[in-house]
């Protein structure tokens, strides 16, 4: 059973029943027919034409979709609108590059034909309930695959709204939702239609799904958690670095895999950075996510809040120093005011685990080498940020960070035109950029005799 619960007041908004195994099998069989008969035969130009209608509907229904995001997971309404806008930008980018990236190539008299695999199953999270879906679905569809979405349990209304957008523009079952529970994901993966899996979520979920995909010998793209380091070197613009760190850490109430979680500061600028960070943090307005002035809304669920509280409690019990105190702010809803902790040790959960909420960790290091060493001392490798007024130094440091992306002197964010993915326990494979169009493509080669 999928439940939609308002994270602001804990009110039940609706329930969506889950399917049984027979329903899942019937749906996948029908989707296989849609793939072979309706979607795969279309040219890239025809797919773009159909998906342009989806993009148009995103624009016209922007406000309704943004309000659904805010209602189901507590994101400030301005950030929800930005999420929809980013989906539109992604569509327009891929409409521009797909004809070239997916064109037949010739090489030494041979031909290379990019062809679809079949069905791509997306196991998606709740923190960006529309963006995460579009990020994998649009390139997969443009490549000629059909898309099957296993949505997050707590954002069923957003998921149903996405399905409606595609249903109105594409042939039936070219994009569809699988209303299944976690144990049924393995059954979906085993079906002959499913030839690729895209998962965004925790490293635990990634390990389970990757194992299921491996047993079925099917390709997987995993975008998992992150414990992103934010390096502030001694020659940085400290005030700007602090302000951007607050913005990064609190975006989406800190529920972002690429937000600044570990603030690693060289000792000579520690006090200046700390002062500027706390000053910026205290100016953030928390409240009703439908209020246009709100910058920090509620956490998406009681489960997320309880996990964050347990991680903070563990750190405090083991000697963490609280520089800015916060936490749960009321008996109802999932509001959590920002916190800043320091004196974080390897024995603490907060040192190794991702904190998915508005809690920042502050570390002081003696020099550049120590900063790099600490930044890499994590099982994750998604993203990082480096602040320095010396471009050569910043690039030198960035090159040594074990991550998939580094932002220099700005906040890290994913961009449609650039490949996005991680290393280590942050996953493998990429989304976005031209590379994202080719992850679920068979590069078939044709060679010719005389």
The C-alpha angle 397, 398, 404, rounded to 5 degrees, equals 150
Which active-site residues does the annotation give? 223, 257
* Burial label, 31 (beta-carbon count in 10 A; 0-12, 13-18, 19+): buried
What's the pLDDT score for residue 210? Answer: 97
The tens digit of pLDDT for each residue in 389-439 reads 999 999 999 999 999 999 999 999 999 999 999 999 999 999 999 999 999
CA 93 to chain centre: 18
Query: How far is 59 from 7, CA to CA, in rounded Å?
Result: 26
Write phi, then psi, for 116 (nearest 5 degrees): -70, 160
Q: In which residue are the tokens 């709100």 written?
A: 294
Extents of the domains making up the chain: 2-224+426-446, 229-415
The tens digit of pLDDT for each residue in 160-178 reads 999 999 999 999 999 999 9
What's the pLDDT score for residue 17? Answer: 96
What's the pLDDT score for residue 320? Answer: 98
| Bridge partner residues of 90 (DSSP) | none
CB contact burial 400-433 (16+ within 10 A = b; e otherwise): ebbbbbbbbbebbbbebeebbbbebbbbbbbbbb
**CATH number of 229-415, picked from 3.40.50.300, 3.40.309.10, 3.40.50.2000, 3.40.50.620:** 3.40.309.10
The tens digit of pLDDT for each residue in 48-75 reads 999 999 999 999 999 999 999 999 999 9
Query: How far is 1 from 160, CA to CA, in rounded Å?
Result: 14
The CATH number of 2-224+426-446 is: 3.40.605.10
Does residue 103 carry a pLDDT above 90? yes
The tens digit of pLDDT for each residue in 317-351 reads 999 999 999 999 887 899 999 999 999 999 999 99
The tens digit of pLDDT for each residue in 264-282 reads 999 999 999 999 999 999 9
What's the pLDDT score for residue 161? Answer: 97
What's the pLDDT score for residue 400? Answer: 98
Query: How far is 340 from 321, CA to CA, in rounded Å?
Result: 9
Query: How far is 232 from 242, CA to CA, in rounded Å?
Result: 9
- Per the structure block, which two tokens stand in for 365? 């290091």
The tens digit of pLDDT for each residue in 242-264 reads 999 999 999 999 999 999 999 99
DSSP 101: H
* Burial label, 386 (beta-carbon count in 10 A; 0-12, 13-18, 19+): buried
What's the pLDDT score for residue 332? Answer: 83
The tens digit of pLDDT for each residue in 343-387 reads 999 999 999 999 999 999 999 999 999 999 999 999 999 999 999
The tens digit of pLDDT for each residue in 69-96 reads 999 999 999 999 999 999 999 999 999 9
Angle between the N-to-C axes of helices 44-60 and 131-142, in degrees from 0 to 180, rounded to the nearest 10: 160
What's the pLDDT score for residue 331? Answer: 75
- Per the structure block, which two tokens stand in for 11? 């009110």
What's the pLDDT score for residue 450? Answer: 74
Q: Is 229 helix (H, G, I), strand (E, B) or coil?
A: strand
């Amino acid at each position: 059973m999928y439940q939609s619960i308002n994270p602001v007041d804990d009110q039940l908004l609706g329930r969506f029943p889950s399917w049984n195994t027979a329903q899942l099998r019937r749906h996948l069989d029908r989707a296989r027919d849609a793939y072979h008969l309706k979607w795969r035969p279309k040219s890239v130009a025809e797919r773009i034409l159909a998906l342009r209608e989806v993009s148009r509907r995103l624009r016209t229904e922007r406000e309704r979709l943004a309000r659904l995001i805010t209602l189901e997971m507590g994101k400030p309404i301005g950030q929800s609108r930005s999420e929809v806008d980013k989906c539109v930008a992604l569509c327009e980018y891929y409409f521009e590059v797909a004809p070239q990236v997916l064109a037949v190539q010739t090489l030494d008299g041979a031909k290379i034909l990019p062809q679809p695999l079949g069905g791509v199953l997306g196991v998606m999270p709740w923190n960006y309930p529309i963006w995460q879906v579009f990020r994998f679905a649009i390139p997969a569809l443009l490549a000629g695959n059909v898309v099957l979405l296993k949505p997050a349990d707590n954002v069923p209304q957003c998921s149903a709204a996405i399905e409606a957008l595609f249903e109105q523009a594409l042939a039936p079952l070219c994009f569809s939702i699988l209303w299944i529970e976690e144990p049924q994901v393995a059954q979906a993966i085993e079906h002959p239609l499913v030839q690729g899996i895209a998962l965004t979520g925790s490293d635990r979920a990634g390990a389970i799904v990757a194992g299921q995909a491996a047993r079925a010998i099917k390709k997987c793209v995993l975008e998992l958690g992150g414990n992103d380091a934010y390096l502030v070197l001694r020659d940085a613009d400290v005030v700007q670095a602090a302000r951007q760190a607050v913005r990064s850490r609190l975006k989406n109430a800190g529920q972002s895999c690429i937000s600044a979680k570990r603030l690693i500061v060289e000792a000579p600028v520690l006090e200046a950075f700390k002062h500027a960070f706390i000053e910026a943090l205290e100016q953030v307005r928390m409240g009703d996510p439908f209020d246009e002035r709100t910058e920090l809304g509620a956490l998406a669920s009681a489960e997320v809040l309880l996990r964050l509280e347990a991680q903070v409690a563990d750190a405090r019990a083991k000697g963490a120093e609280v520089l800015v105190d916060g936490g749960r702010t009321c008996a109802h809803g999932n509001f959590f005011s920002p916190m800043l902790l320091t004196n974080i040790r390897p024995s603490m959960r907060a040192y190794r685990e991702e904190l998915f909420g508005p809690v920042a960790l502050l570390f002081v290091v003696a020099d550049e080498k120590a900063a790099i060493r600490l930044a890499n001392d994590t099982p994750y490798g998604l993203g990082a940020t480096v602040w320095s007024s010396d471009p050569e130094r910043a690039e030198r440091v960035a090159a040594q960070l074990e991550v998939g992306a580094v932002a220099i002197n700005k906040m890290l964010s994913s961009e449609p035109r650039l490949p996005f993915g991680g290393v280590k326990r942050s996953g493998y494979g990429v989304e976005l950029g031209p590379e994202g169009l080719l992850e679920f493509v068979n590069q078939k080669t044709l060679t010719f005799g005389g």
